[in-house]
């Protein structure tokens, strides 16, 4: 499972196309919050596919934050790619 989080603090938009997440953020959103959110989304996507959350381990593959200067303001373009660590994963068994 892999997700790509894109946050634009100028337009105040966060998007994660793989999971269909599109929402508003504030101008103070930063790289650390984006990393936490991306890891959470990987875990949720894995659980939705039936992967056990205690076995699957998420990791940040890429993370970047670029300043965009506009007039007298500096906003950020944040990009984070997160995935489950490669390896064999087991599906959790449904309780009956």
| pLDDT class of 94 with cuts at 50, 70, 90 | low
Question: What value does the mean pLDDT take over residues 40-53?
Answer: 85
Tell me which residue of 5, 1, 35 sits closest to 21, measured CA to CA.
5
Residue 9 lies in a domain: yes
Residue 42 lies in a domain: yes
Name every residue whose Cβ is closer than 8 Å to that of residue 39 and which is 6 or more positions away in sequence.
58, 59, 60, 82
Domain ranges, residue 32: 2-84
Q: Other CB atoms closer than 10 Å to residue 54's CB: what's the count?
A: 7
Question: What value does the mean pLDDT take over residues 42-54?
Answer: 82
Residue 13 lies in a domain: yes
Residue 96: predicted pLDDT: 43
Residue 92 pLDDT exceeds 60: no
Backbone angles phi, psi at 68, to 5 degrees: -120, 115
Structural domain tally of the chain? Answer: 1
Residue 95 lies in a domain: no
Residue 91 lies in a domain: no
């Amino acid at each position: 499972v892999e997700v790509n989080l894109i946050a634009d603090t100028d337009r105040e938009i966060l998007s994660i196309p793989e999971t269909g997440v599109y929402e508003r953020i504030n101008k103070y959103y930063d790289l650390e919050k984006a990393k936490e959110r991306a890891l959470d989304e990987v875990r949720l996507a894995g659980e939705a596919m039936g992967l056990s959350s205690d076995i699957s381990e998420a990791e940040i593959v890429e993370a970047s934050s670029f300043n965009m200067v506009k007039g007298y303001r500096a906003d950020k373009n944040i990009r984070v790619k997160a995935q489950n660590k490669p390896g064999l994963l087991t599906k959790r068994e449904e309780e009956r």
